[in-house]
Amino acid sequence: MRRISTIVCWVALSLIAAPGMSAQTPEPEYPSIENHFDALYSNADGRYVWSEWKGSFHKWQKQFRKDLEKTLGLDRMRKEMNGFRPEARQLDSEDAGTFTRERWEIYTEPDVLLPIIILRPKNLTGNVPLMITPHGHSKNTELYAGVYNNESDRELAEEGERNIALQAVEEGFIAIAPTARAFGKTRTKSGLEADAVSSCHEYMLHDLIVGRTPVGERVWDVMKIIDWALENLPVDPSKVMVSGHSGGGTATIYAGAVDTRIAYCLPSGSFCSYEKSILAMPHCECNYLPGMLNLGNMGDLAGLLAGRYLCIIQGKGDGIFPMDGAQEEFAKTEEIFKAVGKGRCAIAFGDGGHRYYKEPAWRFIHECMNQNSNF
């Protein structure tokens, strides 16, 4: 009996002393994963951060653009489609008063058919400026061209001044409003069945596994539209412009950084340091590029437009691309433009949130066009 009691006491004491069994054992303190993320950002290579670059602007630009194309997946696309030329077909045309609204489809890859809307002023004489307007995350991909399916669309477009292609044709430009990949008719089968706003998530997964990115594909589409437009439309090749909002602003600035034919680049609601925008809060997957911080930040990226015309449009109250982060990055861009000594860059803040602001955008365009600069 004594031996049994001893065993019982020993078991009881063992249980009390067992690791993890005592209420007195403190919970382990784990390091903050956010601190880990911050360390990752601070340790990124930043190979083309302008403030740390020691060589010439020409070398910086050439190497940065080449590595940016790799990051976007454009280098692979060029190799895969060497010699490819876009083809387009018109579907219909409607009289919209002072202009015509034409629906087209364009092959930007041999098996990628992209819906576009072309707005063409009536009574054209000579070549006119071309404005391409990539859209953001909206279910209605025709919004920028002034096509409204309901009053909600109209309110979104007119109060938020997102109908950029319509604004452009009213200025006498030819405007092209493309459907961004992963939206509208280019959504995946499951996205179409679910009537999802976009198929960005699926696109990202399929792109990454073969070395592409959704942003890279949208930049490619803008470039192929420019290819086709310069051959088939009465447009001035020295006045090719791109302006889009939000996700369309992202496509705009990356396209401008890569394609030097884009003389005027006006990204809206998309410019900020990565740390204070897409890394600080949830954003769509399509915003993220593998290894981008190893190249540089947004201010360095915008510097690839130095020598041309760049106007960044933001809202003072934009909660997803905060004003302070935009100002910090623009200061870097200004330094690069000053070093080059050509072109012009500006940043304009509207008194509101995440939307387009047409007044500063068009003021910038007209001021720059009136300078008649050779660049």
| Number of domains forming the structure of the chain | 1
User: Quick one: pLDDT at residue 314?
Assistant: 98
Of 223, 230, 233, 135, which Cα lies nearest the Cα of 184?
Answer: 135
User: What DSSP string describes 16-31?
Assistant: HHSTTT-TTSPPPPPP
Dihedrals φ, ψ of 119, to 5°?
-105, 125
How crowded is the C-beta side of 239, counted as CA atoms within 13 Å?
21
The residues, any chain, with a CB within 8 Å of residue 2's CB and separated by 6 or more, are none
- What pTM was estimated for this model as a whole? 0.91
Listed as ranges, residues in the chain with pLDDT below 70 are: 1-24, 372-375
In the chain, the N- to C-terminal Cα span, in Å, equals: 102
The residues, any chain, with a CB within 8 Å of residue 357's CB and separated by 6 or more, are 161, 268, 313, 315, 348, 350
CATH code for the domain of 285: 3.40.50.1820
User: Quick one: pLDDT at residue 7?
Assistant: 39
Residue 20 inside a domain? The answer is no
User: Quick one: pLDDT at residue 27?
Assistant: 80
User: Quick one: pLDDT at residue 372?
Assistant: 64
Range of 167's domain? 34-371
Distance between CA atoms of residues 158 and 86, nearest Å: 32
Distances (CA, A) of 64 to 54, 70, 152, 258: 14, 10, 42, 10
Residue 279 inside a domain? The answer is yes
Residue 263 inside a domain? The answer is yes
